[in-house]
Chain A
Amino acid sequence: MPLTAESAAQQIQDRLKDIQQHIHIVDEERRRAENSISSLVRSLHATNQKVKPLLKASLLEASQEEATIRAALAKIHEIRSIRNERRIQARNAGNKEAIRRGALMKMVQLSAQTLPLFVGKLGERAPALCGAIPAEGNYVAKVGDNVAALAKGIDEEENWILAEVVQFLHRQNKYDVIDIDEEQKDRHVLSKRKVIPLPLMRANPETDGHALFPKDTVVMALYPQTTCFYKAIVHRLPQTATEDYEVLFEDSSYMNGYAEPLPVAQRYVIAYRPTKKGASSGSGNLSSA
């Protein structure tokens, strides 16, 4: 059922309301938790007796708070997906809004920042397509997902570009992708091997450090202010959920072959995949940035 603008707006409004409610609830819960924790601490310092039940109570409160927060976040994601659907519909309907370069880059950054954060529950490990965890072998990217696609440029040069999935052609096992930089107006049909889905969630360094690329890993990263992925080495990991990686891009104009560290959001750092050109890079070297 195609979403009309009005129905979309209505749904979004509803959810915004829900979120507001959730925020209030969360705040209450947080206060409650705060109080109980402080009393817990007091009891820990003083006597041993009531510690356990207090701990249990705190745990319960924490889990409640967690549930509320997750619900609020879910609503937010719903809003985003509604908006995304609207955008795709609009695009399919044919109105191509020309997005200026600056605006496009901002969008790219924003989408990386607001990528949902995966916070694992106790004992939960990060799923596929969270941070550095790769997709499963039979994973098929959904319509509207962002991917890195090895596309041929004008001069027969292959580059890993940031693209959006239009559809997956089952019979040919190929993706129909479109460059997000709509100026190119390029629509590529590429085999599954040449398409790497970007992570759907960010990894939280505080709880799931294993889902991040370790330092000195060779990766492919989106060069800032561009829409192409290049070979790079991880220099510094994000310390918090909102921080970026710092990577060193391969650059033959520097003495050691690598440039200064540049920040790249978690979403745009993916595992390195060597192309046929093989030895040197995933897509051309940067000789002049």
Chain B
Amino acid sequence: MSANLKNLKLGHFGGGGGGTSAGGAGSSSGFGISASSGGAGKLPSNGTGGGKSASASASSEAEVLATPGGVIIPVIRTRDVPRLLPTIATALQRPSDDHLAAEDLDAVQLELEQMLSNVALRTRVLKAEYDSLDKDDKRQDRRKMDRVPGSPPCQSSMLNGLLGIGGTSSTGVGSPSGGGGGASSSSNTKRKRDEPTGVRKKHSSMTILKQQGGVSGSAKHQAKNSPIANHTDDSMDYLPTLVSANASGSVLPHHQPQPQLPKVSVPKNDTPNKFWLSIEPFCMPLTNEDLRLIDDLLEQYRGPLVPPVPTLGPHYSTVWAQEDMKALQPGGARVKSQNASAMLKKAEGMVEESITGPLTQRLVSALMEESLLTLPSEQAAVGEHSNSTTSSSNENTHSHSSSSAAAAAAAAASGNFRSLSMLKHGVGIEQRLKKELLENGLIDPSEFAAHEDVDEVLLEIKRVTAEISSVSQFNSEELKRLRAAASEEIKRIAIKRKLDVVDQEILECYKRMLQYRAKRKGHTIEEKQEILRLTNEQRLLADQLERMQLHLPSAGGSSGSLMEPKM
């Protein structure tokens, strides 16, 4: 075994020697792997020249400063100083009473910090080692007291191997992760020679460590103290002396005698209770309250759903026209209305008389100014104004015709047909306008179809009312049926209650009978009569219930099945 270890020490970074010898001794396999690859990991990743410096080094020391368990103790080797800490190396060339070159300050700071980090890690590793040794000693004492039959020793080597491998997955300066486990397992193997019994307790702790180490070790090559390892950090916190995650992870299980298995209690299966609770409102016996509810619902359906449609009143255009005339009139109320309707009739007549149809009317009113449609007293001015506008605007046929039509309309409105001469332009204006608009696509021919008689609104109302009435009909039928069923059910429930009461009484008699028999007393005649009466009553009620069931076969089908368990 010692020969193997010597091989390890002399092995190069490839770990060839160590690797081959690893197959031999089972117990050293673990740290064979870990030490050699740990050695590669120990030097920083930019150390490609490491091999050269190693061979060039005159020191006969081991390549890798690691414990047998594969824990790398972070130390910056002297031979690495020129490479890792160049500025400090040059500073070291100068005597110690000289001052540092000011321009080196930043580089020196960074290198010093590097050294500090190294020292801090070294402290942690050494402390972990120390503590593990301590615990092992304590364990040794405790184990000597009570021997526990241990599992075969070879398992520890497997764990070592696993831990060692787990340790190598996280590289970097100092990797106490696997090393921590390796440390304890190394001390484990040492103890193994003395006492195989101590192994078993460590197994349980090792497996936990392995899980923890595996979890964080298999993290994707992150710094082992990266936040992913936080969950192990927190668990380490109550060891105030140890901060580094996995190194102390190895120590932790030693503190606890055995990991506490979480008490898994099968939670009470509550679901069926919840289910029955949820459907309870639907299965409760009916009451008069419910009946009243149904009656209320029925109320809604009694009257007609939709108020009757009133007859069609006067069209809004006539109403508005009347109102407008009233507004324009200066005089009193009744006179106004009479005048208004009279004037409107006259206007209607004039409209029919004049050549201008509805289209021209619209065109004209759009083109004419609002002020022109005012009191009849201003007719003359209106007429003149329109005449002047006629002459001034002679652009296109439309305006021409419209202005002439405007003149014509104004003339008509004033009741003065003196501009009859203009009418010759207005002949056929309506048709011309219609043709013009149709050609331009501004009006559809369908619009000219007579659609006065079709009252669309009324049709819509009738249709909707029909729909509603059919639905409400259906609803009221259902509600009536429901009501009937509910009242039946209530009667049935009453009978059931009576039945229950009778049953109870019978039971009591039976109990009394038993007591009498127990006391060897004969039962009295009253008792017998009582029993007979009760049983008769029970039979009656049951029959009644049966009959009721038969009366309502449709609803009774389900309720019958409900009753069966009762009976």
Binding site for B on A (CB under 8 A): 12-13, 16-17, 19-21, 23-24, 26-27, 30-31, 33-34, 37-38, 40-42, 44-45, 48, 51-52, 55-56, 58-59, 62-63, 65-66, 69-70, 72-73, 76, 79, 110, 113-114, 116-117, 119-125, 204-210, 212, 214-215, 237, 239-242
B77 A117 Cβ-Cβ under 8 A: no
- Minimal beta-carbon separation of B465 from chain A (angstroms): 52
Measured between beta carbons, the chain B residues less than 8 angstroms from A56 are 130
Give the distance in Å from the alpha carbon of A56 to the alpha carbon of B123 in the complex: 10
Measured between beta carbons, the chain A residues less than 8 angstroms from B159 are none
A121 B120 Cβ-Cβ under 8 A: yes
B92 A23 Cβ-Cβ under 8 A: yes
Chain A proximity mask over B124-140: 1 for CB below 8 Å, otherwise 0: 10110110010000000
B223 A239 Cβ-Cβ under 8 A: yes
**Can you list 27 residue pairs at the A/B interface with Cβ under 8 Å?**
A20-B96, A23-B88, A23-B92, A27-B81, A34-B76, A38-B62, A38-B65, A41-B66, A45-B9, A51-B133, A52-B130, A62-B123, A69-B112, A76-B112, A114-B106, A119-B116, A120-B120, A122-B124, A206-B173, A207-B120, A207-B121, A209-B224, A209-B233, A209-B245, A210-B230, A214-B228, A237-B227
* Smallest CB gap from A38: residue in B: B61
Measured between beta carbons, the chain A residues less than 8 angstroms from B240 are 123
Measured between beta carbons, the chain A residues less than 8 angstroms from B226 are 205, 209, 212, 237
* Smallest CB gap from A70: residue in B: B116
Chain A proximity mask over B99-113: 1 for CB below 8 Å, otherwise 0: 111100110111011
Measured between beta carbons, the chain A residues less than 8 angstroms from B76 are 30, 34
Give 4 closest A-B pairs by Cβ, nearest first.
A209-B225, A16-B99, A24-B96, A117-B113
Measured between beta carbons, the chain A residues less than 8 angstroms from B460 are none
* Smallest CB gap from A58: residue in B: B126
Candidates B66, B98, B223; contact of A20 at CB < 8 Å: B98
16 additional contacts (CB under 8 A) given A23-B88, A27-B88: A13-B99, A19-B99, A20-B96, A23-B112, A30-B75, A44-B67, A58-B122, A62-B126, A72-B112, A79-B105, A116-B113, A119-B117, A120-B120, A122-B123, A122-B241, A205-B225
Give the distance in Å from the alpha carbon of A62 to the alpha carbon of B65 in the complex: 15
Q: For the complex, is B218 an interface residue (Cβ under 8 Å from A)?
A: no
A114 B114 Cβ-Cβ under 8 A: no
Measured between beta carbons, the chain B residues less than 8 angstroms from A122 are 120, 123-124, 127, 241-243
Candidates B97, B117, B126; contact of A206 at CB < 8 Å: B117
Q: For the complex, is B229 an interface residue (Cβ under 8 Å from A)?
A: yes
Q: For the complex, is B162 an interface residue (Cβ under 8 Å from A)?
A: no
Q: For the complex, is B155 an interface residue (Cβ under 8 Å from A)?
A: no
B91 A20 Cβ-Cβ under 8 A: yes
A237 B116 Cβ-Cβ under 8 A: no
Give the distance in Å from the alpha carbon of A33 to the alpha carbon of B78 in the complex: 11
Candidates B67, B75, B133, B244; contact of A33 at CB < 8 Å: B75
A59 B126 Cβ-Cβ under 8 A: yes
Measured between beta carbons, the chain A residues less than 8 angstroms from B54 are none
